[in-house]
């Protein structure tokens, strides 16, 4: 006798998953392999998602952490997170063909950093220590030109040499709410501080966080599909918990804990900007094996942004 499945309402966020910068970065690797043949080397994970990285490996991509691991005579791609200026300079010195898959919205932050330093400003950079995007942005300007601000406490305690010649910039994948509080603290302390033109937190990060905020009050639990080293995915899981529902970050459907879902009748689902839609469908299909699932997509924004490919690959 078949066991009757308990009902489970899935509230699926839209937008979710891949953003334009991730789409572009993956396409750059694919086109480089088409144009040059395998192997094509990629410095750092192209995006923070094991499923995506493993898929590109099967097509001929080799992922390394340093340029020293790239042999002479093969093309190399720089990840979507951006790299310090020294990396392309070293590639050029070695005569390597390279393609920069840095998200254009991260490149915009790089340009703003250079401009602020040229104006004689010291930059207070809001971000997470050790994240590749932070390392890449710090590497755009002379050493000592930037100070990392990770928390509101950092913002309260930082003591720059010249409080009247400051700028602030942010990592693109931060919590919108937390970052706003840190910026408010800096602006209160340093009234002359100059901010970026528009927000540095990217549209995709903001949109995915807004979707979670809209759905969380309507559900009892929240699953975020993404990687633990993906900043934007981690922020989504934290945000759902902050909104009052229990939340978990999972990489794949096989990480779902059915005991954790005991008693849950409404479940929110979203995916970080580096998680493909196929993983969302995998999760839904997995849940349907154990529950009587109904799906509702909740749309809070529509995304139409796309980015151009680098010259040399746009015709590949």
Question: Does the active-site annotation cover 133?
Answer: yes
Catalytic residue of the set 34, 118, 133, 152: 133
Non-local (6+) Cβ contacts of 80 within 8 A are 21, 22, 24, 25, 46, 47, 101, 102, 103, 106
Q: HSE, CB side, 13 Å, CA atoms: give it for residue 135.
A: 11
Q: Which of 214, 234, 210 is nearest to 224 (CA)?
A: 234
Rounded Cα distance, 129 and 32, in Å: 31
Backbone dihedral angles phi then psi of residue 31, each to the nearest 5 degrees: -70, -35
Non-local (6+) Cβ contacts of 158 within 8 A are 124, 147, 149
Which active-site residues does the annotation give?
133
């Amino acid at each position: 006798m078949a066991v009757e499945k308990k009902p489970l309402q899935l509230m699926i966020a839209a937008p979710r998953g891949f953003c334009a910068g991730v789409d572009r970065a993956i396409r750059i690797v694919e086109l480089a392999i088409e144009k040059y043949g395998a192997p094509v080397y990629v410095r750092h994970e192209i995006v923070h998602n094991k499923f995506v990285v493993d898929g590109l490996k099967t097509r001929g991509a080799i992922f390394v952490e340093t340029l020293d691991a790239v042999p002479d005579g093969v093309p190399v791609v720089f990840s979507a997170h951006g790299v310090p200026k020294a990396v392309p300079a070293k590639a050029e010195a070695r005569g390597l063909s390279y393609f920069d898959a840095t998200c254009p919205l991260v490149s915009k932050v790089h340009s703003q950093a250079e401009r602020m330093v040229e104006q004689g400003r010291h930059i207070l950079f809001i971000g997470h220590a050790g994240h590749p995007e932070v390392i890449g942005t710090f590497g755009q300007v002379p050493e000592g030109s930037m100070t990392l601000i990770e928390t509101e406490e950092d913002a309260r305690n930082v003591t720059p040499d010249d409080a009247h010649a400051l700028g602030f910039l942010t990592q693109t994948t931060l919590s919108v709410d937390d970052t706003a509080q840190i910026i408010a603290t800096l602006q209160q302390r340093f009234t002359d501080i100059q901010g970026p033109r528009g927000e540095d937190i990217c549209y995709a990060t903001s949109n995915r966080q807004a979707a979670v905020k809209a759905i969380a009050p309507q559900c009892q639990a929240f699953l975020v599909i993404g990687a633990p080293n993906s900043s934007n995915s981690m922020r989504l899981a934290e945000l759902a918990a902050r909104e009052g529902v229990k939340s978990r970050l999972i990489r794949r459907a096989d990480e779902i804990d059915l005991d954790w879902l005991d008693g849950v009748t409404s479940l929110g689902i979203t995916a970080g900007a580096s998680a493909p839609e196929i993983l969302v469908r995998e999760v839904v299909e997995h849940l349907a094996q154990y529950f009587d699932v109904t799906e509702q997509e909740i749309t809070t924004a529509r995304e139409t942004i796309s980015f151009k490919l680098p010259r040399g690959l746009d015709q590949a």
